[in-house]
A and B are shown apart, each in its own frame.
Chain A
Amino acid sequence: MTPMIEIRGVHKLFGHLHVLKGIDLTVQRGEVAVLLGPSGSGKSTLLRCINELEEISAGRVFVDGELVGLHEVAKGNRTVLHRRRDEDIARQRSRIGMVFQRFNLFPHLTALQNVMEAPRQVRKVPKDKARKRAEELLGRVGLADRADHYPAQLSGGQQQRVAIARALAMDPELMLFDEPTSALDPELVGEVLNVMKDLASDGMTMVVVTHEIGFAREVADQVVFMDDGVIVERGTPAGVIDNPQEPRTKDFFAKVL
């Protein structure tokens, strides 16, 4: 079976700033991969390359076997790379859910409207159907009674759970989380992690950037440690977190744990 994500030799440059320096990573269907690493090591950038929020500078990213952002056209005996059209990229993105550190809910829409927006606008789902599904999803993240609240009327933890419901409304086959609990007060972290754990046990494929080591230990199938634009070490939580081999990894966990 094709893996859900296959990243091959990806580099990313911002001008002269070399941020990703040859990343190879495979995430299987139903797998949870946790990216760990110091700030500025390129974790967010890597995540954003998976749904084409950033264009990669070199290498290939495949999601569900399909090249992201580019496509190869056979021309005689060689292949030529073309950028995908905007609509095509939008279609690819709509199958990948993303959750941001700062929630990025639409503040002028209620929780329910936030969840309904993309299915209505992108998939043209009829209003009744979209509403029913949105109510169901808000129930799933434990916020059925907050449907008519605006984001400003919700706590950070509630906002992040609405953001997860919003991403799920597009029926993604893959979810990306960029430090989903880093902007939360400590007492609100648990409710968001619980929703994520439920998702993982339902078999969702997830790539999670987080500093919650406990979550990584409990949920991750694969832990990836990044530093300075490269993957330094990868493996099971027990291997990477509790028994790191590389000096940089040892150093990092010595500070964190």
Chain B
Amino acid sequence: MDVPELIHARPVPRPSRWIWAGIVTLLVLTLAHSLVTNPEYRWDVVGQYLFDPRILAGAQWTLLLTVGAMALGIVLAVTSAIMRMGTNPILRGVAWTYIWFFRGTPIYTQLVFWGLISVLYPRLVLGIPYGPTFWTISTQDVANAAVLAILGLGLNEGAYLSEIVRAGLNSVDKGQWEAATALGMSRGKTLRRIIIPQAMRVIVPPTGNETISMLKTTSLVLAVPFTYELTFVASAVGNQKFLPVPLLIVAAIYYLVITSVLMVGQHFLEAHYGRGFDGADSPTGKSRAMSKRQQAILNAGTAKAGPYLDVTP
């Protein structure tokens, strides 16, 4: 078959692109120039402290606090979200109160409170209230600063994530519940096997966001007080040497590196839970014109038409 003459039309001129390119180049050059020439940055000190053992330990603690708090937060969030959607009014009330309290008070106050827990409750007791006690332990023995920091951050995070999880669970079409129920699947099975895997598409992106936010919120655990995490260590070293700026840059570099790693992880999680929703064979999906969520909603037909849609002759 003959190929006709292909179109080689000139694109529409877009002068605004060139203007913006000029402005941005100018700004970047100015910034780069100051970074290099301003002696206050002390890049030599940045290099010297980048792999300082105290800083490395601080970065590790920050990572550990983030992972621990998010793990606790996710468990609490899923539990409380399912409780709120359940049929038991007592559990619904418990979940509601938890979210109300931990979202309604500042995280800093909560962390100070957890730091004081061994003053408020010197002993932890396992037993029946007003009845016999089986086991008792000093609070200080189990609750060191790291545990309290993770507890404080995790409890607060769980309350926020709970709303995200609930929105995710609610985003799944009612028809999915009905189909699973009609097949004889129990509520728990339906949640685990059918609803949660679909809700993950909606839950993962904001949870990734929360994780990145948590990475930086960990610097508040000074309130407990917990003093081994990155921001505190970096500023302590900086103040000690009278060189706060280069040490803050060191800390910022670690935060950026960890955030970048988290973003890569988030990308793969989103691809995994998007499977079956983008109409492509590969789990990563090539078609990017629409956002994955829009496509998924379209393909799954979940957001279209009410449940009573009828085709009347």
Contacts and interface: CB of A to CB of B under 8 A. Distances in A.
A150 B194 CA distance: 14
A108 B197 contact: yes
B225 to A, nearest CB: 45
Interface stretch (A22-30, A73-81, A84-92, A225-233): A84-92
A118 B185 contact: yes
Contacts of A38: 312
B313 interface: yes
B178 A104 contact: yes
Among B180, B183, B309, B313, find the residue whose CB has the most chain A CB atoms closer than 10 A: B183
Contacts of A39: 310, 312
Nearest to B295: A152
Contact of A170 (B178, B183, B193): B183
A93 B299 contact: no
Contacts of A153: 279, 281
A53 B299 contact: no
A97 B278 CA distance: 29
Contacts of B296: 107
Given A102-B301, A104-B173, A104-B175, A179 B183 contact: no
B184 A100 contact: no
Contacts of B194: 106, 117
Contacts of B184: 90-91, 93-95, 118, 122, 170
Interface in B179-207: 179-187, 189, 193-194, 197-198
A109 interface: yes
Interface string A201-236: 000000000010000000000000000000000000
Nearest to A122: B184
Contacts, number: 106
Contacts of A91: 184
A53 B276 contact: no
B211 to A, nearest CB: 23
Nearest to A256: B313
Nearest to B186: A90
Nearest to A113: B276
Contact of A106 (B179, B275, B279, B313): B179
A94 B276 contact: no
B311 interface: yes
A7 interface: no
Contact of A255 (B181, B276, B313): B313
Contacts of B278: 152
Interface residues of B, number: 36
Contact of A102 (B175, B185, B276): B175
Contacts of B305: 102
A245 interface: no
A190 interface: no
Nearest to B299: A152
Interface residues of A, number: 44
Contact of A117 (B193, B276, B299): B193
Given A150-B275, A152-B276, A152-B278, A106 B176 contact: yes
Contact of A107 (B277, B310, B312): B277
Given A107-B299, A152-B300, A122 B179 contact: no
Contact of B300 (A107, A122, A167): A107
A122 B276 contact: no
Nearest to A148: B281
A53 B300 CA distance: 22
Given A102-B301, A151-B276, A167-B183, A182 B311 contact: yes
A107 to B, nearest CB: 5
A132 to B, nearest CB: 19
Interface string A105-130: 11111100000011001100000000
Given A100-B178, A107-B300, A152-B278, A94 B183 contact: yes
A100 B257 CA distance: 49
Contact of A104 (B179, B185, B309): B179
A108 B183 contact: no
B48 to A, nearest CB: 51
A204 to B, nearest CB: 16
Given A104-B175, A182-B310, A256-B313, A152 B182 contact: no
Interface of B: 173, 175-176, 178-187, 189, 193-194, 197-198, 273, 275-279, 281, 296, 299-301, 305, 308-313
Interface of A: 38-40, 44, 51, 53, 86-87, 90-91, 93-98, 100-102, 104-110, 117-118, 121-122, 150-153, 163, 166-167, 170, 179, 182-183, 211, 255-256
7 contacts: A53-B178, A93-B182, A100-B179, A101-B309, A104-B178, A117-B183, A255-B313
